[in-house]
Every structure is written in structure tokens, then in C-alpha cells.
Amino acid sequence: MKSIVKKTFKYSTYSVLTLLGMFLLYMLSAFVFGRISVGETEKVADEKIEIYLMNNGVHTDIVTPIRNAHIDWTNYFPFENTVGNDSTANYFSVGWGDKGFYLETPSWSKLKVSTAFKAAFWLSSAAVHTTYYVELPKKQEKIKIEISVKKYKKLISYVKKSLKLKKGKPIFIKTNAVYGSNDAFYEAVGSYSLFHTCNTWVNNGLKASDLKASLWTPFASGIFYQYQ
């Protein structure tokens, strides 16, 4: 009996230490790779477009003008898909994340273990979350970036490639789990995981647009470190 208890304690200790070691390695990798820069902040000589990176403390969104000569986002994400249907908005924000988190977790206190487990290990689908703003929220951390038309078009292409389409249009998710009156959800390509988070998606978008980004980051801090 004593030997069984000892073995159980031994294996439990090894398991805990292994998990702790993996967690520390993950955090260290996120810190180091998040501070390694790829790409460059360009010097825009001709037409420039202002975009923003916006952070709510955990999640990063890309914010752009709602429309310009290169795209009208309302053609892909209609105002009618939001509760408020407010066509006076000036800004469009887009983020990517785990569908379960978006639709089943209104607050951290409501987070289910099953939802977190599926999200961490590629076991659930993804969604794109869009929001229209008349003015950008003052309380959220923001960084303004001026980019060229060429790089903006690459960013547009990246967002489009992240969406599941039906007849050439994003697939709208009808749900009451919206955060306010001006946001909506759409089916997305890919799966969330510990190694490909909502912030990784934004960071990869910056890479795809030939903009300054982290080598890899699962956290908003890695992205914002590059631009501060």
C-alpha cells in the first residue's frame, strides 16, 4: 500500500513539474519571440492610410477607415447585420478568435473548462468579430500606424482570406451573444490554440502586410512592444 502511495505521489509530482516547466517555457518563448522584430515601419511618401491597433487588455483588433477608394467594408460586413444598424460609423475594427469564447463566454467568470480546453488544443472552430465605431473607445489602448496603399491592400487580402465564404460573401453568424449594438460575428478559417491566438492572428496580419511585427506572439504585449 505504501509503495502504491509513493508511486502515485512520485508520478503526480513529475506531472505537476512537467506542466509547470511547459508553462514557463511557453511564457519565456512568448516574451523572447515577442521582442524579436520582423519587417519594418515604413516611411510613407505618397498616399497614406491610417490604421490602428487596439487592445482591450487581452485581445487586439485591427481598426481601419470604414471605407476609402480601396475598399468599402460595409460591402462585406453590412450595417444590417448589427443590432444598431448605425450607418454613421467612421471606423471598422476586425479581430479573429475562438468561436466558443466569442459566443459562449460573455465574461471570464462564465468561462467553461470545456471551452478553454477546446480553444487551447485546436478542437473548435474560429470566428471573425467586427465592430463599427463612430469614435474609437478612449479607454482602450491604441496605436496609430500610417501605411502605404500597397500594404493596406495586403492587409485587406489577409482579412478576406481569414473568412469562410458563401457565394463570395462572409458567412454571418446569427447570435444574441454580441457585445453591443454595433458588432457582429462571421465564420472564419482556422482554429484557435495556445500557439495561434487572437493576437497571433493580428501579428500575422502585420507580417502579411510587410509591416513591423513580432517573430511570434500569443499576447497583445508582443505586438504593442514593437510600436511603442
Q: Give per-residue pLDDT as tens, 80-108.
A: 999 999 999 999 999 999 998 888 765 55
Q: What is the pLDDT of residue 58?
A: 84
In a domain? residue 30 = no
> Residue 57's pLDDT band (boundaries 50, 70, 90)?
confident
In a domain? residue 65 = yes
Pairing mode, if any, of strands 37-38 and 172-173?
unpaired
**What is the domain extent for residue 183?**
35-227
In a domain? residue 82 = yes
Q: What is the pLDDT of residue 11?
A: 57
In a domain? residue 220 = yes
The string of pLDDT tens digits covering residues 39-50 is: 876 666 678 999
In a domain? residue 160 = yes
In a domain? residue 141 = yes
**Mean pLDDT throughout 193-201?**
93
State the total domains in the chain.
1
Q: What is the pLDDT of residue 122?
A: 54
Helices (H), 74-127: 99-104, 113-120
Prediction pTM value: 0.87
Contacts of 132 (CB under 8 A, 6+ apart): 66, 79, 82, 86, 89, 91, 92, 93, 182, 183
**Mean pLDDT throughout 61-87?**
96
Q: What is the pLDDT of residue 12?
A: 62
